[in-house]
Amino acid sequence: MNNLLPLPVLLPMFGAALTLIVGRRPRLQRLISITVLVAVVVVVAGLALTAHREGTQTLWFGAWPGTAGIALVADRLSALMLLVAALVTLGVLVFSGGQDEEEIRQETPVSIFHPTFLLLCSGVSNAFLAGDLFNLFVGFEILLFASYVLLTMGATRPRIRAASIYVVVNLVSSALFLILLATVYSATGTVNLAQLSQRIPGLPDDTQVMLQALMLTIFGLKAAIFPLQAWLPDSYPTAPAPVTAVFAGLLTKVGIYAILRTQTLLFPHRPLTEVLLVLAALSMLVGIFGAIAQSELKRMLSFTLVSHIGYMLLGIALGSVDGLAATIYYTSHHITIQTTLFLVVALVGRVAGSTSLERVSGLVAVSPLLATLFFIPAMNLSGIPPFSGFIGKIGLVQASLEYGGVWGWTLVAVAMLTSLLTLYAIAKAWNRAFWGEPELVTPEQDGDDLVPGKLPPVMVGATIGMIALTVLLTLAAGPLYDYCQQAAIALTDGDYARAVLEGR
């Protein structure tokens, strides 16, 4: 019983309503949104502390007898994800506040940016806290609808084109999710995750495999795992910069979280391990080869996102405590780093007028500050010691070695190769955009180009804050990794079901 649990969902929802009411006063909107998100950060930090010290927190809604009601559950994993998500959304919101009046008209023209953004946060929190599959579905729908609106913001040509792909893909995954819910309910008579973990092992093997494959397809589509990744690099880069940043950082990780939760809780014997290992390896390779071929920074980063999703899937597939702990750590690292990089690329666009590697060069001379801002998270992403990316990858490699055999060694090789190729892609981008003769874009009449300009201090401040967060993940790696280790142990020893069903 913990009445703090609904707050990460409710606060942004109330904030969304308030900001919608004061839609004509952008300053007030900004103030409300930032206040709400700061409050959420405080609440989830408290939740994480409680979950860490006193164990999994559960809240059953209404006075329903037994397990008929809806449960919100925060164990260490959920609480950590919530905390990282809240910090990242706060950073992005502050960043978006740096746009001047003129740009607000062009990039995020209508008064609905803040309400929709807050609804997205609310949906993400709901998905992380959901204690049953149906509530997870509702959380996904809230965040998806918010994302449809954010992606089509302003309804320009490229955004409508990109959004139609994104919307259709996600409609299919929502329909599949509903089919899953109906199937699960007819097979077991419940959608509560804790109860499912007791009932699914009693089902016939073929039914179990079907349910597992269905879940992997649905969540794999959201997480952009190969071969379900093709929609991502097509749809993300066209959105407004803050939107792309938060999508790339958070939305795919919600899918990863759902896979992590359902696989460890419902299928503890891991019947599809080999399939998952192959998919993890292919996601890494396909993503990174895609990234190397790109000549546009945002698209390149979208492809590296696909490839690094492979790392997280690798840890889940291995299923050992070490693998899961590394995945949890890597996921929190990757949420922050991917968001930060997209924010930096947005700054590159502002300084140079374009983010195309063919049209921009010599940025080191133009803005040394920007070059530093790009360099730190870029090295972190490619896994250069001592950054958090390196620590997460080492954890995953160790877990693969423990798994051993041909599979283990192959995956270590693939993970190493992907890491090297990430460094290659990043180095190539650095060579093109930052070294050489300074060359900025002369804006074309009808293109997406911005007029090359100065760095707005608010945006730089927000980006520095995000980089500080990624560095903090590195500095606090010891205690944080212990926390992840304990979260992983709790995932594997059935603590979730015990805590949720206690006294029911």
Partner 1 sequence: MSPNLALSLVAGVLVACGVYLLTERSLSRILMGVIVMGNGVNMLFLVAAGPAGNPSFVGRGNPEDQIDPLPQAMVLTAIVINMAVAAFVMTMAYRSFQLFGHDEVQDDREDARIRALAEKDQVSTTFEEARFQDTGEDMVSE
Q: Which is nearer to partner 1, 69 or 465 (CB)?
A: 69
Q: Are 321 and 489 a contacting pair, CB within 8 Å?
A: yes
Choose between 250 and 291: whose C-beta lies nearer to partner 1.
291
Radius of gyration of the chain (CA): 22
Q: Which is nearer to partner 1, 298 or 350 (CB)?
A: 298
Closer to partner 1 by CB, 361 or 485: give it: 361
Whether 400 and 412 have beta carbons less than 8 Å apart is answered as yes
Whether residue 27 contacts residue 83, with contact meaning beta carbons closer than 8 Å, is answered with: no
CA distances (Å), origin 327, targets 450, 479, 484, 485, 490: 38, 16, 9, 10, 14
Which is nearer to partner 1, 105 or 161 (by Cβ)?
Answer: 161
The least distance separating partner 1 from the CB of residue 150, rounded to whole angstroms, comes to 12
Q: Residue 468 CB, nearest distance to partner 1 (Å)?
A: 31
User: In Å, how far are 2, 85, 175, 197 from 149, measured between CA atoms?
Assistant: 33, 20, 19, 35
Q: Which 3 state secondary structure label does DSSP give 296?
A: strand
Pick the closer one to partner 1 by CB: 231 or 330.
231
- In the chain, how many H helices and how many E strands? 22, 2
Torsion sign over Cα 230, 234, 237, 242: negative
In the complex with partner 1, the residue whose CB is nearer, 179 or 394, is 179
CA atoms of 223 and 374, how far apart (whole Å) = 25
188: left (phi over 0), alpha (psi -120 to 50) or beta: alpha
Residues near partner 1 (CB under 8 A) are 68, 134, 138, 141, 145, 148, 152, 155, 157, 160-165, 167-168, 171-172, 174-175, 178-179, 181-183, 185-186, 191, 233-234, 292-296, 299, 357-358, 428-429, 432
State CA 374 to chain mean position distance: 20
Long-range contacts of 142-150 (CB under 8 A, 24+ apart): 143/119, 143/251, 143/254, 144/170, 144/174, 145/119, 146/116, 146/117, 146/119, 146/120, 147/120, 147/247, 147/251, 149/112, 149/116, 150/113, 150/116, 150/117, 150/120, 150/239, 150/240, 150/243, 150/247
Which residues contact residue 328 at a Cβ distance below 8 angstroms, ignoring those fewer than 6 apart?
77, 80, 260, 315, 484, 487, 488
Q: Give residue for tokens 């990757």.
A: 334
Cβ atoms within 10 Å, residue 55: 14
Both tokens assigned to 77? 């994993």
Q: Least distance in Å: CB of 62 to partner 1?
A: 12
Rounded Cα distance, 466 and 91, in Å: 6
Residue type, 372: T
- Taking the complex as a whole, the smallest distance from the CB of residue 220 to partner 1 amounts, in Å, to 18
Query: Among all chains, which residue has been given the structure tokens 């299923």?
Result: 319
- Cβ atoms of 128 and 81 closer than 8 Å: yes
Helix (H, G, I), strand (E, B) or coil at 132: strand
Minimum Å gap between C-beta 164 and partner 1 is 5
Residue 234 Cβ vs partner 1, minimum distance, rounded to whole Å: 5
| Residue 218 CB, nearest approach to partner 1 (Å) | 13
Judged by CB, which is closer to partner 1: 38, or 182? 182
